[in-house]
A and B are shown apart, each in its own frame.
Chain A
Amino acid sequence: MIQGKAYVLGDNVDTDQIIPAHHLVYDLDDPEERKLYGKYALSSVPSDVAGLPDGHIPFISEGADQSVFSIIVAGKNFGCGSSREHAPVALNMAGVKAVVANSYARIFYRNSIDGAYFVPYEWKIEGPKEIRTNNLIEIDEMRGELKNVTTGKVYKLGSLGEIADIIEAGGIFQYAKRMNMVK
């Protein structure tokens, strides 16, 4: 069970919005510098669409490097644009446990799964418009359901399909080890 507060975004949130390019210089292998990716996660989302439906809700509070929101609810084509793996890393470092979107851009989706940063869910049918930023959300992985605890409504999530094995293994390296493809 994944539980947390929702942060709601629109369509076509690209990787420049998720982590602006001038931040791509911090050392991903240095635990302290890696925290900076969390600090600047979603920092280029235009203010009026940051935390829908009202907007103007910063994902990261001033001075923090983690978000109070751990579940992102987004529209279509989430993560489009550059191949920077810093984008799923930034969301991971900010404390995101799951993203639920109408659809994903391919490279971002792959990076999220192969790097095991969070689970990228899709809705079974197009995403509900009534989920608001700050709603309390519960995702039941076994049943493939998302419950909006604030409103009591339950929604079906799409099946993860063949990539469920990679998610379950914990990323491409763990998966390949399990399949005896790497030592």
Chain B
Amino acid sequence: MTITEKILAEHARRTTVKPGENIWIDVDLLMTHDVCGPGTIGIFKKEFGQRAKVWNPQKVVIIPDHYIFTKDKHAKRNIDILREFAKEQSLPYFYDVGTSRYKGVCHVTLAEEGFTVPGSVLFGTDSHTCTAGAFGLFATGIGNTDAAFIMGTGRLWVKVPETMLFILEGSLPPYVMAKDFILRIIGDIGVDGATYRAMEFDGEGIASLNMEERMTLCNMVIEAGGKNGIIAPDDKTFSFLKARSDQPVELLKTDYNSQFIRTHIYRSKDLEPVVAQPYSPASIEAARQLGEVSLDQCYIGSCTGGKITDFIAAAKILKGKSVQVKTVIVPATTSVDKQLTEEKIDGRSLRDIFIDAGGEIGPPSCAACLGGPEDTFGRLNGREVCISTTNRNFPGRMGSRESKTYLASPLTVAASAITGKITDPREVMG
């Protein structure tokens, strides 16, 4: 069996499962946030009763992150609903806005707080819940109704996915990031190339990636329609989690004789910086081919591209340079925000490097990755052309329907910031 099949079998309390089977599984963790939490709570109360209790308060994690720094009164009400529910249910893991517990982007918070336990099953009311698969667990996004069902029962039905295997041979060159690799894959297999399937990543190239880069890979499997992304846990996984969790971890690996629906092999040295053009994450072109595209904004942030390693990459390029267009920097979480001050390159903090270059740093949240209310920091409100480290470039995704978003790695976005046009980072890396 593959690692995905092994986890699902164990949680179905069976010895084996086969792709295509519908099974009921036990859930280890349910995550929700301010956009989908209130609707989930509404359905939970309607179906289980006004005084119903969640199946296990230790296993329901609520992380407000989407519409935080806005004057929108409806958005504020959503957070009030979460706050009231967390209190009523005595939920220990509620990261409330306006308190020292506030974190920011849920997928990065789950890892930082040690919730991403190898071998476990995580559902979240957000399509990018698949990010956590980087730690070797089964993690996928669901809607409010399914989340409400889990809240009351701790169980859900799933169809066992077939697994597509992606092997990366060799370490990535310094100008190529995990973002380039996953965009390349989406370009190759299409936005529905992995629908209903698990995408497993393996090979020495994957082993050489740090946990943040592995998270970027698994984060965007949903952009190929994938059900979950997964990477077998190794020493890097365990050392990341050791400081953050006392949960027992399981050393699961895919068997050599597993059945894969397809195997794709990539060589690191063949990869180069790429960009997804509007309006599809699969519309891939080499960054070096798009030098004529003038930009109005550069955006570095989100669950995909707002982790500390993303900012270290961007700062390497922006150090000692000036941005030519509006450059927006949004750390995913309060802890990443703190690290912007602590992490230094040649004695200069990342924060200072960004400010010196002319960047604008916003408070940690999902911010303009998905547009949001009109006063959202970094939102595209007109006909802007933006290059972004985020995950989607659908019509209107970052705000206005007339705006255009190109998706790229933090290196490519930073390189583009200092030229004002889409730029391959090799041109400025020296």
Contacts and interface: CB of A to CB of B under 8 A. Distances in A.
Contact of A171 (B125, B145, B192): B145
A80 B143 contact: no
Contacts of B395: 16-17, 44-46
Given A81-B392, A84-B143, A110-B142, A162 B22 contact: yes
B372 to A, nearest CB: 6
A103 interface: yes
Given A14-B394, A25-B72, A111 B195 contact: no
Nearest to A172: B149
A34 B29 CA distance: 29
A12 B67 CA distance: 26
B146 A111 contact: yes
Contacts of A26: 74
Interface residues on A, range: 35 or more
A65 B149 CA distance: 29
Contact of A82 (B22, B48, B127, B195): B127
Contacts of B36: 83-85
Contact of B125 (A17, A27, A83, A162): A83
Contacts of B42: 28-29
A142 B329 CA distance: 55
Interface in A7-49: 12, 14, 16-17, 20-22, 24-29, 44-46
B160 to A, nearest CB: 13
A101 to B, nearest CB: 11
B192 A111 contact: no
Nearest to A104: B195
Interface in B30-67: 35-36, 38-39, 42, 46-48, 66-67
From A44, A107, A110, name the one whose CB has the most chain B CB atoms within 10 angstroms: A107
Nearest to B141: A83
Contacts of B373: 22, 25
B165 interface: no
B7 to A, nearest CB: 18
A181 interface: yes
A86 interface: yes
A107 B127 contact: yes
A67 interface: no
Interface in A75-106: 76-77, 80-86, 88, 103, 105-106
B352 interface: no
Nearest to B402: A46
Given A81-B392, A83-B125, A173-B47, A21 B38 contact: no
Contacts of B77: 25, 27
Contacts, number: 137
B307 interface: no
Given A29-B42, A82-B126, A105 B394 contact: no
Nearest to A183: B48
A114 B145 contact: yes
A119 to B, nearest CB: 16
A90 B222 CA distance: 22
A26 B153 CA distance: 27
A2 interface: no
B192 A105 contact: yes
B238 interface: no
Interface in B358-386: 370-374
A111 B153 CA distance: 18
A172 B263 CA distance: 34
B392 A85 contact: no
Contact of B394 (A24, A81, A83, A114): A81
Nearest to B194: A106
Contact of A107 (B143, B157, B370): B143
Interface string B65-102: 01100001011011000000000000000000000000
Contacts of A115: 143-145
**When A and B form their complex, which 6 residue pairs have the shortest distance between CB atoms, in order from nearest?**
A25-B74, A85-B143, A111-B143, A83-B141, A29-B42, A77-B192
Interface of B: 22, 24, 35-36, 38-39, 42, 46-48, 66-67, 72, 74-75, 77-78, 125-127, 129, 141-146, 149, 152-153, 155, 157, 191-192, 195-196, 222, 225, 227, 280, 370-374, 392, 394-397, 399, 401
21 contacts: A20-B371, A20-B396, A22-B372, A22-B374, A24-B35, A25-B77, A27-B38, A27-B74, A28-B144, A77-B225, A81-B392, A82-B126, A83-B125, A83-B129, A83-B141, A84-B36, A85-B125, A85-B144, A105-B195, A107-B142, A176-B153
Given A16-B394, A26-B74, 8 more contacts: A16-B371, A20-B401, A25-B67, A29-B42, A81-B222, A83-B142, A85-B143, A111-B144
Interface of A: 12, 14, 16-17, 20-22, 24-29, 44-46, 76-77, 80-86, 88, 103, 105-107, 110-111, 114-115, 162, 171-173, 176, 181-182
